[in-house]
Structure 1
Amino acid sequence: MVKRIAVIGGGLSGLTTAFYAKRYAPDSEVTVLESSSHLGGVIGTERVEIDRIGSFLIDRGADMFATDPPAAMELCRDLGVEQKLLIPQTDRAGVMIVCRGKLIPIPDGFVLMRATKLWQMITTPILSIRGKLRFLAERWVKPNPPGNSQSQGAASDDQSVADFVRQRMGQEVLDRLVGPLIAGIYTADIEKLSMNATMAPMVAMVREHGSLAKATLARRRAQQDATERQSAGARYEKFRGFPEGMAELIDALAAAIGEESIHLNARVQSLRYAPGDRPAWQLQWDQQTETFDEVVLATPAAVSARLLHSVAERDGDALAEIHSHCRSAADGLASIESASTAIVVLGVPKKVIRRLPDKFGIVVPACEHRSILAISFASHKYANRCPADHTLIRVFIGGATQSELLRQSDQQLIELVRRELADLIGLQGSESIARVVRWNNAMPQYHVGHQELASRVESAVDAIPALSLATNALRGVGISPVIANAKRVARRITAAAIP
């Protein structure tokens, strides 16, 4: 008998789950149900032609992915698109940080919280003498005893990123370096962001070696930090993108799954467990009801919670246990907060920028009291993003700490960005193109205690027959972690064939 699998959600998680489900079980019937009119979720690309100027290629979300962990590269190989991948132009690699109104390069070899080139930290103008001495003293700071976290809402030995860094390196390092780098990755409030959920390797280093400084020395002796010592911030030689933007990955997934298996504008209203000889689920969508042997929720936390609540609201004592597990999972998912962001994209003639940095981007610390989070120079990464006499700039606004800015209109956000760019890089003229991309509640927030919450949700879902979660709301928000999780889900749901 053919196994019928429904994947609810046509973002990267859902498409990857569907692709690998068909790959692992070719005889299965896989159906993707996407509520919007397009696939990809927060991944998308737009090409815009401007008369007498040229073409602009705009990634509406991520514009590249990391090769380590390897799940994204493995997916590209499995799709047959690996040969298309581009390495960023590493001659411009690196990030600058706003420091007292000036742009300063992040010290070479500084990776999130660790300095693999100590002299660069000692000589950087980003930190005061007092801040540098406090950073150097980290090697003598004792690890936080298990269960002794001071973070609000801490579970077990978890603590916030802010508390961890403040305790080990001091307030200045937190404000000027570590905080803005990590907050930019997760669009998060670092006073709430979980160390265990986001920076587990750093926690493990301190536990094993006593401090990050001692761990860095041990890694140097073992030659484990060779790549990091050549980088400032992200290791851009370990990133890849596509000639026509990240939408190429989504298009390749859709083509491999098959048009006949994908339904757009298909909003699932409810789920219903169908008892019988084997587990099954009835899905109500598009004014119809269909039965599937497996259901995968590849949707944001709030949507997954709504669908699971629709199961829990059904009556019937015989299904009380399943309803209870659905309710527990739904309550956990509903408690996960999410942040919204806007990306203002400007295509600007180079001649109207007085001080164009020769780096990939700029990070803006909260202590600078500005209205933007970060700036990315997309055309510095890949040459074909705009005409040669232009620069394509993406500016990030909002996140968990500045959500009030997103109440402004698109035009107001564009004007805000113009003012910030005028001050930071000397923008003195008009752009040739402007776009505003809004992502509402798109980034799940991993608050202190998140791992325990994720485990409770996973335990509840594991107890629900023939239902799985493939979501970035629990573990891993990057492209590769999302793909790795979706691949695991696909392998699990296809492990047992229907007799």
Structure 2
Amino acid sequence: MDFSRLSQQDGNETAMTESVSPSVPKRIAVIGGGLSGLATAFYLKRFSPRASIKVYESSSRLGGVIHTERIESAGHGCFVIDHGADMFATEPPAAIQLCRDLGVEDQLIVPDTSRAGAMIVHRGKLVPIPDGFVLMRATKLWQMVTTPLLSIPGKLRFLAERFVGGQAVPNAVADDVSVADFVRHRMGGEVLDRLVGPLVAGIYTADIEKLSMNATMAPMVAMVKKHGSLAQATLARRRENQDVTERNSAGARYEKFRGFPDGMKQLIDTLAAAIGEESIQTDTPITALRHTDDVSQPWELSFDRGAESFDEVILAAPAAASASLLRSIDAAAIQTPCRTAADALSSIPSASTAIAVLCVRKSQIARLPHQFGFVVPQIENRKILAASFASHKYPIRCPADHVIIRVFVGGALQPELLQQSDEQIVDMVRGELADLIGMTGRETLARVVRWNDAMPQYHVGHLKRVETIETAMVQIPHLHLVTNALRGVGIAPVIAAGKKMAKTISGAE
């Protein structure tokens, strides 16, 4: 990789000589080698070039829920299978900026937008999401009027949203409300059940009856407060030519996504190379975190092979692991904020999911959709949450006569399905795909990827819990927290949080 390009910047980003505080910490530990920890460590090295950075990862590999498997199948060819996210959004810009900072922006690939779009299961059939519909807003009204997803009463109720006004939603808690209550109040139950619910639940693998509007859909809340309704907000955005991309989308703005030729692990590998092998230790679980009387290096990390002391420590492990480490701190002066932060962090629930990846010959599928994938409303009583045709997005990921199907199972509402064996899950998925897209026979290869407690659930009142955690962490000197359990589960928000933390610790302007 050409590291000379690391200094290239766009917009307001400064060069590698960005100003650094004269009081740069000498030793900084990052606990957790997922994307949060790696992004934080990369920017710490950039903003604090004189500091010694160490990343500790408990498992044998880096990347957390980001991983890619490359499989050579005899007689078929190569399959590139992402175990987690297979692309990232360019807005907000933190992820694309990281790629610029790493010097790999020119390696990114754009999804095949000729296939852009998604579908929804409706009475056992796959029906396209109306063009121009993005989460809760219709930028092409006629598409909503003609969609078969809604009955005439359902369409009329949706059109009446402009008359609901901006009054508070019933049952609001501390000015927060669930996604389900918000949509039901503004657009009716049918729009919730048939359209918005499955789209939002597909993003967060969540129970929309509990999912917080303020924590997940704040822009929608702001639009209603400013304009009185989403319909009026959409009209205002159209006048200002702000919805050009949305009007050409169906469920997601795919032209604003990017991926890597060799899968998302390429981002992790590039980050690790930039941080440096000497700064990363895998297979090193931290067993305890101790606050010492040493003013210069007040934190001691314990692990099986001994202990090390640091000026600053960043907890970038999963929420449960970070909470456990906070509880291990027994220093009297900071025990209360440590316990407060740990308790609040532990109160944020998480959901588990499995991804059944099936690589199938196209000739085995009678009704292969042209679009990128589909989501499944809860009212359809299916045993899958959604399906994504990964090779539709990036055809280079598999042989031309095959398709890679990633099927999502479990989530907050069907955790019992994950108690099955991998073989049982694959067999269950085969049955669903046979019914929905006419798949027959056996796949060329299959994988089941399980992510246990990997998706934080932002329930109503979530931002109050975040405020409690952040207030407590401020009271713990030289100890910091970076996690997707607080202010964003996507790739870009996680990177942005890591960069912000690195700037704070380094004193970079």
TM range (shorter): over 0.9
Residue 66 in structure 1 maps to residue 89 in structure 2:
yes
Q: 1:321 to 1:496 in 2, by over 3 A?
A: farther
Match of residue 5 from structure 1: 28
Residue 217 in structure 1 maps to residue 229 in structure 2:
no
Distance in 1 between residues matched to 2:95 and 2:167, nearest whole Å: 35
Match of residue 98 from structure 2: 75
Q: 2:494 aligns with which of 482, 485, 489?
A: 482
Which letter maps to 2:293? Answer: P
Match of residue 387 from structure 1: 399
- Offset at residue 275 of structure 1 (A): 2.4
- Offset at residue 262 of structure 1 (A): 0.5
Distance in 2 between residues matched to 1:171 and 1:257, nearest whole Å: 50
Which letter maps to 2:257? Answer: F
Q: 2:180 aligns with which of 144, 152, 162?
A: 162
Distance in 2 between residues matched to 1:128 and 1:393, nearest whole Å: 31
Which whole-Å deviations, capped at 9, do the CAs of 1:426-481 have from their partners, x for residues lacking one?
00121100000000000000000000100110110011100111100000000000
Which letter maps to 2:435? Answer: D
Q: 1:141 aligns with which of 141, 147, 164?
A: 164
Q: What SS does the corresponding residue of 1:39 show, helix, strand or coil?
A: coil
Match of residue 215 from structure 2: 197
Match of residue 343 from structure 2: 331
Q: What SS does the corresponding residue of 1:234 show, helix, strand or coil?
A: coil
Distance in 2 between residues matched to 1:241 and 1:461, nearest whole Å: 35
Distance in 2 between residues matched to 1:80 and 1:469, nearest whole Å: 27
Which letter maps to 1:31? Answer: K
Match of residue 372 from structure 2: 360
Q: What SS does the corresponding residue of 1:493 show, helix, strand or coil?
A: helix
Match of residue 441 from structure 1: 453
Distance in 2 between residues matched to 1:414 and 1:137, nearest whole Å: 43
- Divergent runs of 4+, >6 A: none
Distance in 1 between residues matched to 2:304 and 2:500, nearest whole Å: 29
Residue 245 in structure 1 maps to residue 266 in structure 2:
no
Which whole-Å deviations, capped at 9, do the CAs of 1:66-119 have from their partners, x for residues lacking one?
000000000001111111000000000000110011111000000000000000
Distance in 1 between residues matched to 2:446 and 2:79, nearest whole Å: 11
Give 1:252-267 correspondences, 5 Å limit: 252-267=270-285
Give 1:91-490 correspondences, 5 Å limit: 91-145=114-168, 149-150=170-171, 154=173, 156-278=174-296, 280-311=298-329, 314=330, 319-490=331-502
Q: What SS does the corresponding residue of 1:192 show, helix, strand or coil?
A: coil
> 8 Å contact 1:279–1:466 — kept in the other structure?
no
Which whole-Å deviations, capped at 9, do the CAs of 1:216-266 have from their partners, x for residues lacking one?
011111111111001111100000000000000000000000111100110
Which letter maps to 1:190? Answer: I
Which letter maps to 2:335? Answer: H
Distance in 2 between residues matched to 1:381 and 1:330, nearest whole Å: 40
Distance in 2 between residues matched to 1:362 and 1:440, nearest whole Å: 23
Distance in 2 between residues matched to 1:158 and 1:219, nearest whole Å: 25
- Offset at residue 211 of structure 1 (A): 0.5
Which whole-Å deviations, capped at 9, do the CAs of 1:143-200 have from their partners, x for residues lacking one?
233xx6515xx3x100000000000000000000000000010110000000000000
> 8 Å contact 2:319–2:485 — kept in the other structure?
yes
> 8 Å contact 2:25–2:312 — kept in the other structure?
no
Q: What SS does the corresponding residue of 1:185 show, helix, strand or coil?
A: helix
Q: What SS does the corresponding residue of 1:289 show, helix, strand or coil?
A: strand
Which letter maps to 1:406? Answer: L
Q: What SS does the corresponding residue of 1:76 show, helix, strand or coil?
A: helix
Q: What SS does the corresponding residue of 1:7 show, helix, strand or coil?
A: strand
Distance in 2 between residues matched to 1:388 and 1:129, nearest whole Å: 42
> 8 Å contact 2:297–2:309 — kept in the other structure?
no
Distance in 2 between residues matched to 1:167 and 1:306, nearest whole Å: 40
Name the TM-score, length of structure 1 as normaliser.
Answer: 0.96
Percent identity over paired residues: 67
Which whole-Å deviations, capped at 9, do the CAs of 1:106-149 have from their partners, x for residues lacking one?
0000000000000000000000000000000000113233xx65
> 8 Å contact 2:25–2:311 — kept in the other structure?
no
Match of residue 90 from structure 1: 113
> 8 Å contact 1:18–1:32 — kept in the other structure?
yes
> 8 Å contact 1:149–1:157 — kept in the other structure?
no
Match of residue 78 from structure 2: 55
Which whole-Å deviations, capped at 9, do the CAs of 1:7-63 have from their partners, x for residues lacking one?
000000000000000010111000000000000000000011111111110000000
Q: What SS does the corresponding residue of 2:409 show, helix, strand or coil?
A: strand
Coordinate RMSD, CA, aligned? 1.2
- Offset at residue 320 of structure 1 (A): 2.8
Distance in 2 between residues matched to 1:109 and 1:165, nearest whole Å: 18
Q: What SS does the corresponding residue of 1:227 show, helix, strand or coil?
A: helix
- Offset at residue 279 of structure 1 (A): 5.9
- Offset at residue 286 of structure 1 (A): 2.5
> 8 Å contact 1:375–1:393 — kept in the other structure?
yes
Which letter maps to 1:290? Answer: E
- Offset at residue 496 of structure 1 (A): 7.9
Distance in 1 between residues matched to 2:49 and 2:142, nearest whole Å: 56
Which whole-Å deviations, capped at 9, do the CAs of 1:198-220 have from their partners, x for residues lacking one?
00000000000100001101111
Structure 2 gap ranges (5+): 1-23
Which letter maps to 1:326? Answer: C
